[in-house]
Chain A
Amino acid sequence: MSLLMIADPRAPRAGFGKIVHNEARLAWRQPSGIIVSVGVSLLLLIIFGEIPAFQVTSASLGGLSAFEVYIPILVAFVIGVLALTYLPGPLVSYREQGILRRLSTTPVPPWWVLSAQLVVQACLMVITVGILIVVSGVFFGESAPKNTGGLVLAIALSIAAMFAIGLAIAAGARTAGAARGIMMATFYPLMFFSGLYIPMQLLPGALQDISHVTPLGAAVEAIQDSMLQGFPPVAPLLVLAVYAVVFGLVAKRFFRWE
């Protein structure tokens, strides 16, 4: 299910560009995904940046300020919310409405639609994350990420892991309604373990241990390390890679086109 498969010679490749273009139009015309990802994360960033108490470094937060703790959590939120609540929905409803079935009678393989969705969502994620990092640097005086290569890798693996989970949900859910239910039941616990509600540093050790092996917990860990310290440790990167591969295989195995 990789983008490299587009080298497949069966249909004119311009077709893929047209699908991506139309998916981008749809994302723009039904902008709830954009509003939630860009709007909510940016709004939270600005609020946190304006709260004086959030700028004070604290020993209980490992010598960081709450604002610094929340930047990687908001990055994880953007990736999580798009991959879980705005990726499976359209795919499942395309299947329900016979859109994928109709496409499968053309020379275009239906997974082009799926890939186009991933491209559009990934662009949206990268743009939003870029905005968050730039705004926190320019307006709130955060220093530039310590290890850009590590940050790019951490974000790429986070996106891959969350896409795989989102696609597995799209594969398993029979209706758009069921997909929404599963997404919500997955999204809130994962956000909890990313530290969105209470930063993980303030929670008991057992919960922190669980957080390390959840995808968004690992994402926050890897992103935070590459922003503040240097190249992230192997453990969270490995956790993300395992999620990407395992759920990617599950999605591939169970995805139905009709």
Chain B
Amino acid sequence: MGIPGSAAAGRLDAGPSRPREGASRGGQLRPNGTKNTNVRGVAAITISRQGGPGWPGRAARTPAVEIGHLRKTYGALAAVDDVSFSVAEGEIFGILGPNGAGKTTTVECAIGLRSPDSGTIRLLGLDPRADRDKVREIVGVQLQASSFPAKLRVGEVLDMYRSFYREPADVTELVEALGLAGKRRDYYRSLSGGQRQRLSVVLALIGGPKIAVLDEMTTGLDPQARRNTWELIEKVRDRGVTIVLVTHFMEEAERLCDRVALIDSGRVVALDTPAGLAARARGGERVRFLPSAPFDMGLLTRLPEVTAVEHDGRHVVVTGTGELVGAVILALHEAGVTTHDVQLDSSTLEDAFVRLTGRQLREEGERS
């Protein structure tokens, strides 16, 4: 798993949009653990501020999730070939990949639902199979295909799942955050697909977990419900809960995840912050501008920062590395040419995905 040096900067770029400082907010989810979760939340801030690569905090603390050389085959097919990653406490970690890449198998091994052929798995230092009971208490799970008896009411399902845990979360708060407050009397079978999905997210968090593993949590939700779910997840993380998110929504990964592992054909092809991955996909910077007058292309091609110059109608597109924008504008300024309409081409996580795996991430028509 390659980790580029640019990740730290990328991490900070992505940082301000997140309410990370909110670690002391709320505190309702785990009534007995408010003090502890704040401590964890603060520690998580320190770790993430130090940036993605290497995760310096890792040596000092037990990672929330540690997966080493995981391998799981079905017959001749290696669903998971060799997957390793480590998730710090309080981190939101994304697992991205095309269908059939091995994402779900990876998390199902991680939570002990499947036994891997080889590799190590530790959740807060515990083995999900050997320490099954402890792991079940601290890990909340949302599975892709899960269902509940048709003729049970939502409130009855919630009440039952809540009773399975020693320190359950505040159900009212969860239910309200995901817009199910008015649905408690409804039978499960009368819920829409999106409501079932939201109930499934509530049930993943109902036990007051220290780690929440969410497989495609917003698939099938409308944009508003999706944003509400993201807000809830951020709030939960701010209380110190570690989140492992399997997703194929780029927007979700960019908005929520501190780091993302791109998985393809059972292997981690890249692991970085969303911004770091996007920067890598670029293969350098790209500047597009409208020159005030024609000029000799040699002016630009001789610059060490520039790798290519192209025309796009009246615009000029320059590709290169380093301080590309400054170098280009300065060189043209010296030649008496001013630049207008300057656009810095910023690639996205989606570009990174396509570039790194050679595939589109989602199916046609799945776009949010």
Residues of A within 8 A of B (CB): 10-12, 14-15, 17-19, 21-22, 25-26, 29-30, 94, 97-99, 101-102, 104-108
Contact = CB atoms under 8 A, between A and B. Distances in A.
A18 B160 contact: yes
A190 B125 CA distance: 54
Contacts of A30: 151
A105 B159 contact: no
Interface of B: 111, 113, 133, 136-137, 139, 141, 143, 145-149, 151-152, 156-157, 159-161, 163-166, 203, 207
A252 B315 CA distance: 74
A14 B163 contact: yes
B145 A98 contact: yes
Nearest to B144: A98
Contacts of B166: 12
A14 B168 CA distance: 13
B146 A107 contact: no
B146 A102 contact: yes
A18 B159 contact: yes
Main secondary structure of the interface of A (DSSP, over half): helix
Given A10-B133, A22-B152, A26-B151, A106 B143 contact: no
Nearest to A94: B149
B132 to A, nearest CB: 8
Contacts of B160: 15, 18-19, 21-22
B163 A15 contact: yes
Contact of A101 (B139, B146, B159, B163): B146
A26 B149 contact: yes
Given A15-B160, A26-B152, A107 B113 contact: no
B141 A105 contact: yes
Contacts of A26: 149, 151-152
A107 B151 contact: no
A233 B181 CA distance: 59
Contacts of A11: 136, 164-165
Which residue, of A18, A94, A106, has the highest number of chain B Cβ atoms within 10 A?
Answer: A106
Given A26-B152, A107-B133, A12 B143 contact: no
A107 B141 contact: no
Contacts of B148: 99, 102
23 contacts: A10-B136, A12-B166, A15-B160, A15-B164, A18-B160, A22-B157, A22-B160, A26-B149, A94-B149, A98-B147, A99-B149, A101-B143, A102-B141, A102-B146, A105-B111, A105-B113, A105-B136, A105-B139, A106-B164, A106-B165, A106-B207, A107-B133, A107-B136
A94 B164 CA distance: 18
A106 B156 contact: no
B243 to A, nearest CB: 16
A209 B165 CA distance: 53
Nearest to B156: A22
A101 B113 CA distance: 8
Given A98-B147, A104-B113, A107-B136, 19 more contacts: A10-B133, A11-B165, A12-B164, A12-B165, A14-B163, A22-B149, A22-B156, A22-B157, A98-B145, A99-B146, A101-B113, A102-B143, A102-B146, A102-B147, A102-B203, A105-B143, A106-B136, A106-B207, A107-B137
A37 B11 CA distance: 65
Given A105-B113, A107-B133, A98 B164 contact: no
A98 B104 CA distance: 15
A11 B147 CA distance: 21
Nearest to A108: B164
Contacts of A10: 133, 136
Contact of B165 (A17, A19, A107): A107
A33 B124 CA distance: 46
Nearest to B145: A98
Contacts of A102: 141, 143, 146-148, 203
Which residue, of A21, A102, A105, A107, has the highest number of chain B Cβ atoms within 10 A?
Answer: A105
